[in-house]
Amino acid sequence: MMGMRRLLDISSQRLIKILELFALGEQNLSFKDIARHVKASVRTVHDDIARIKERWGDKLSIEVSPKSGISVKGCSIFTFEKICKEIFNESQSLLLFQGIFFNPYRNNEFHEAIVFASHSTLSRMIKKFNGKRVDDTGIRILKNKAGYYLYAPDEQQFRRLSTCFTLEIEGLDKSLFEQWLKEYQISFADDYINEIIRRINPNIDEFYDDRAFKYDATFFLVSLIRELQGFHAEPYPIDYEPEITEELLRLVRKKFPAVTKNALNAICIGLKLHHTDIRKDRDWHKIRPCFDTFLNNALKIIGVPAEENWLEEAYTVLGKLYNLGLWFNIKASTLFDRVEYFAQLFKRKNRAVYDYLYRETEIMSAKLGVNLTFNFHKILFWLCVRIPDFSGVTIKKKLLVIGDYSELHTEFLANFIEENINGAKSRKVETIPFYLGKGEPLPPPESFDIIASTMPNIASVYPELSSKGMAVVNDYPTEENIADLKNLLSGLKMQLD
């Protein structure tokens, strides 16, 4: 869950932050740079780097130079993910969470033995869990006469977050979840779970892959555990009730004879929400225009028309994220989410496109009344995977060219500047000619990025231009004029980064 990182000890949190820097492409950082980023002393960072070298030197090539700083080779997202999971799976916090999740209503002695901690240490861990949440899930560790249990004000939401977290850590060979599966003789590879999931959702083959099945299977089992423990979820108020057939009930009861029809109903509703066809929603006529506007604006920057098959897939992807935003309006952990790191690397490479698409997602969310920005990284990932042109496109900066001599001359200036800045292949800038003699109002400042003008004192005539970078150009722009404009564009890019 989102706050789980904070449950790690401080040194483990620092190690993850340092590894994140290198996984996201930061190289040749000084110890001082890293210390500033992780908010620790330079000496502490020296110790952390030494620990990383000693523990994971076989996976990473770490070079330390007094001049060029620290360089880490091989810290791909794959490697980073594996190392972080090692750190997390060894933590007392994970043992505490799992212990209470799988064994509610147990006393202090039971959990002290699981986390290998004293009574006072266990109390501090629980206090930390309850007191340093950075999300708004309301999840707490509470205690009654029987012992500790996990409380969640929204049980369906808790199940989804627990599912995401279980899949993220993937420490199933060491975890209590793996022990629970063995106890009930269940494997994700056998036909039992597969048959249950497909009976609940007969039409799941479209855009369904191994990861989607793993999620559904884990959600079903996590929900089943909670129901059998007595934590019941209220069904969401949706327009349909899943049909719990006697055949499905008998199938589930083969291994879980205590499950009731009401419990299975709540589980199935929580699961079906992830696969509801948005095109069958009664408000689809309101939702579709918002999706279409977003998709058209996204495609506009790469000059690709929307094909029917692509649009249908887009509706499915956005529809699933719409349902998540509607029913689970919480940002889950992205610590081990490779799609999130894909998005962060994209952002570093092409900040302008990232910001543009994020703003479009914000606009779409506002129109829908459902927050899709929590899953923006998934939208971006899907766009890039389906249309790789998104990964290389650049959004042109807009340059307002203000001329005072004539309209034709102003257009000449705009064309000349655009041709000389862009060159044969690059398309860095789009010019907007504006002739002062026509007496028309200036374009609004938000419609352009920088200014080229033949008048040195133009900002004194139009104060609203003072916030924009400006270069003065001659009637026939010189190489120096073009260089000044290129520097302005470069500075604008640096500011965005």
Q: Is the domain of 182 the same as that of 270?
A: yes
Q: Is the domain of 376 the same as that of 323?
A: yes
pLDDT at position 172 is 40
Q: What percent of the chain has pLDDT over 90?
A: 32
| 226, 166 contact by CB (below 8 A) | no
378 alpha carbon, distance to own chain's centre: 6
Q: What percent of the chain has pLDDT over 70?
A: 89
Q: Is the domain of 460 the same as that of 362?
A: no
How many C-beta atoms lie closer than 10 Å to residue 480's C-beta?
A: 11
Q: Is the domain of 376 the same as that of 455?
A: no
pLDDT at position 383 is 93
Q: Is the domain of 364 the same as that of 343?
A: yes
pLDDT at position 324 is 84
pLDDT at position 223 is 92
Q: Is the domain of 295 the same as that of 323?
A: yes
Q: Is the domain of 144 the same as that of 165?
A: no
- Specify the number of domains making up the chain: 5
Kindly report the average pLDDT of the chain as a whole number.
84
Least confident segment among 112-126, 180-194, 286-300 = 180-194
- For residues 23 and 19, give the distance between their C-alpha atoms in angstroms, rounded to a whole number: 6
SS (H, E, C) 67-106: CCEEEEECCCHHHHHHHHHHHHHCCHHHHHHHHHHHCCCE
The pLDDT-based confidence of 3 (bands split at 50, 70, 90) is low
Kindly state the tokens that stand for 63: 């070079």
* Structure letter (DSSP) for residue 173: T
Nearest residue to 195 via CA among 248, 269, 242, 266: 248
211: left (phi over 0), alpha (psi -120 to 50) or beta: alpha
* Structure letter (DSSP) for residue 333: -
Kindly list the distances between the CA atom of residue 161 and the CA atoms of 96, 138, 140, 157, 320, in Å, as whole numbers in the listed order. 16, 12, 13, 6, 16
Domain boundary among 82, 115, 131: 82
Q: Is the domain of 331 the same as that of 365?
A: yes
The pLDDT-based confidence of 320 (bands split at 50, 70, 90) is confident
Kindly state the tokens that stand for 444: 């609004």
Among 204-213, 330-339, 368-377, 389-398, name the most confident range: 368-377
- The secondary structure element, H or E, covering residue 406 is none
Find residue 450's DSSP bridge partners.
Answer: 399, 469
User: Tell me, what CATH number does 461's domain have?
Assistant: 3.40.50.2300
Domain boundary among 82, 104, 138: 82
Kindly state the tokens that stand for 180: 């629970």
Nearest residue to 493 via CA among 439, 426, 438, 434: 426
Q: Is the domain of 213 the same as that of 241?
A: yes
| 113: containing domain | 91-151
305: left (phi over 0), alpha (psi -120 to 50) or beta: beta
Q: Is the domain of 402 the same as that of 485?
A: yes
In sequence order, the 6+-apart residues with CB closer than 8 A to the CB of 66 are none
pLDDT in tens, 135-194: 556 788 999 999 999 998 888 888 888 887 777 766 544 566 777 888 888 887 778 888
Kindly state the tokens that stand for 338: 């490779």
pLDDT in tens, 373-406: 999 999 999 999 888 888 777 677 889 999 998 9
In sequence order, the 6+-apart residues with CB closer than 8 A to the CB of 199 are 245, 247, 248, 251
The pLDDT-based confidence of 225 (bands split at 50, 70, 90) is very high
Q: Among the residues of 238-350, which ranges form H helices?
A: 246-253, 261-272, 284-300, 308-327, 338-349
DSSP string, 366-385: HHHTS--GGGHHHHHHHHHH
The pLDDT-based confidence of 424 (bands split at 50, 70, 90) is very low
User: Tell me, what CATH number does 66's domain have?
Assistant: 1.10.10.10
Domain boundary among 224, 244, 275: 275
User: Tell me, what CATH number does 141's domain have?
Assistant: 1.10.10
3-state secondary structure of 21: helix
Q: Is the domain of 111 the same as that of 18?
A: no
| 339, 77 contact by CB (below 8 A) | no
Q: Is the domain of 371 the same as that of 435?
A: no
